[in-house]
Amino acid sequence: MSDTVENDVEQTLIAAANAASQGNDDIQYLSKGSSKDEETESSEVSNDCPIKKRKLTDDATYSQEGNSHYNDENPIRKRKSSDTTYSEVVATHYNLIKEKGLDERSKSSVVYLRNFHNWIKSMLINEYLTKVKDKKKHNAPIRVHDMCCGKGGDLQKWKMGGITHLICSDIASVSLDDCKSRYNNIKSRIWGRGSSNMFTIEYIVGDCTRMRVREKLSDPSMKLDIVSCQFAFHYCFESLPQAECMLRNAAECLLPGGYFIGTMTDAYDLIARARKCNSNTYGNRLYTVTLDFDINKPALFGEKCHFQLADLVDCPEFLVHFPTFIKLAKKYGLKFVKKEKFYDFFERLKSEGQQLLCNLPALETYPPSGTSSLLSTDPDDYTHAKEFIERQGEDNIRIGTLSKSEWEASSIYTTFVFEKVKNTWNTDGTPIFDI
């Protein structure tokens, strides 16, 4: 990439984002604050989530409401009739995805989007590993749980972050096998260079929404600095017990001051887009979302979305009502730190992460140089880039961008961060968290 490309990367992505979200201002929202409880509940998040707010007084109240989709009288919320659980469907889907080499991945229709998501994960992981290191003595061990790690796409990131030990868990055993091979390859390459500086690893196959991970650890008393759940937390909002189990797994081994970080689809965005086009199904040439529930009356749990994204994802996931996520996390000592849409995250870290954006590369060069061609053949995908260049009034400049279609898909996602807090103890032995 030339200097010009590097310098103009930010502005064009902004242009792509604006082009992708044009006209979103006319979204209808449910009226705010019809009761005191609703106001209190929603005040913790910056976005006014259009999901109907419910009174959350105790577990029983929302347990009942959240599981109302099991009521077969409501056709929109009918549970599958077969004995297969959604977790099994998800595991089968991921198990069937073949591990692709770098060469094949670079030919994907979403190569820049995939790289852009890797940039987001790298920056997020790096940001919180740095905070953890700042709180520790030099050379103190750093232990991490990569929850729902898939094929180990983040192993290099953990390697670069200089961690000591990694726990990799996933429901898809084939993905974990690929993860093992990836780890062994990285390790042998490092040893080949005469270094032994590689973190140790352990693998856990299982459903993180139903098993207690701690009981499966090589050392169940192990204390962790970071739990990372990338592009997977939304699977646990199938039901309250599953969300609680996942959060307990995220929280219970974390040291006070440690972080639970992740990325997932943003419920606000999923619903707002459906309302805008007045349809439960929408998307573009790269992604399709189908919301399998009444978008005006979603429940807190079990609201199924089918998300299909090029060759990356094609399986059922669940809407995460963020105020409920925050409320449940509190119960396990996780204090909400922040939620940032991918666009805002990019805005904040684009300068710091510019070199990595270019190295991956996470953005496409427009216009293409030499004999190379654009990834998309739809000219509308690059209108924002063309207009940006015209506005500069200079000839022969090249910029880095995402196509409009890629940005439309990517901007559905959000990052999240929680911090584990210290606790005192109740007389009955239960922890009290001051959150």
Beta-carbon count within 10 A of 269 CB: 20
CA distance 239 to 287: 26
Site string for ligand SAM, 38-77 (x = CB under 6 A): ----------------------------------------
Assess 323 for contact with ligand SAM (CB under 6 A): no
Question: Of 125, 119, 115, 201, nearest to 161 (Cα)?
Answer: 125
Identify the CA nearest to 5 among candidates 345, 373, 358. Answer: 358
Which one of 10, 170, 364, 408 is in contact with ligand SAM (CB under 6 A)? 170
Q: Which helix (H) or strand (E) holds 254?
A: strand 254-265
266 is in an annotated binding site: no
- Residue closest to ligand SAM, measured at CB: 150
| CB 22 within 8 Å of CB 384 | no
Q: Please report, for residues 303, 322, 413, 423, the alpha-carbon distance to residue 295 in angstroms, rounded to integers and kept in the order given.
A: 10, 16, 18, 39
Q: Figure out which of the listed residues 66, 150, 258, 316 binds ligand SAM, where binding follows CB under 6 A.
A: 150
Contacting ligand SAM (CB under 6 A), which of 172, 227, 264, 291?
172
414 binds ligand SAM (CB under 6 A): no
Q: Is 171 in the site for ligand SAM (CB under 6 A)?
A: yes
**Is 153 a binder of ligand SAM (CB under 6 A)?**
yes
Q: Give the residue with the Cβ less far from ligand SAM, 148 or 300.
A: 148
* Closest residue by Cα to residue 13 from 397, 418, 364: 364
Kindly state whether residue 209 participates in binding ligand SAM, applying the rule CB under 6 A: yes
Residue 86 binds to ligand SAM (criterion: CB under 6 A):
no
Buried b (16+ CB within 10 A) or exposed e, 225-244: bbbbbbbbbbbbbbbbbbbb
Residue 149 interacts with ligand SAM (CB under 6 A): yes or no: yes
What's the min distance (Å) between Cβ of 229 and ligand SAM?
A: 7
Which residue(s) pair with 167 in the sheet? Answer: 145, 202
Site string for ligand SAM, 214-233 (x = CB under 6 A): ----------------xxx-
Helical H segments across 317-403, by residue range: 322-331, 342-349, 354-359, 383-392
User: Which positions make up the binding site?
Assistant: 121, 148, 170, 207, 230, 235
| Residues in touch with ligand SAM (CB under 6 A) | 87, 90-91, 94, 148-150, 153, 170-172, 175, 207-209, 230-232, 235, 313
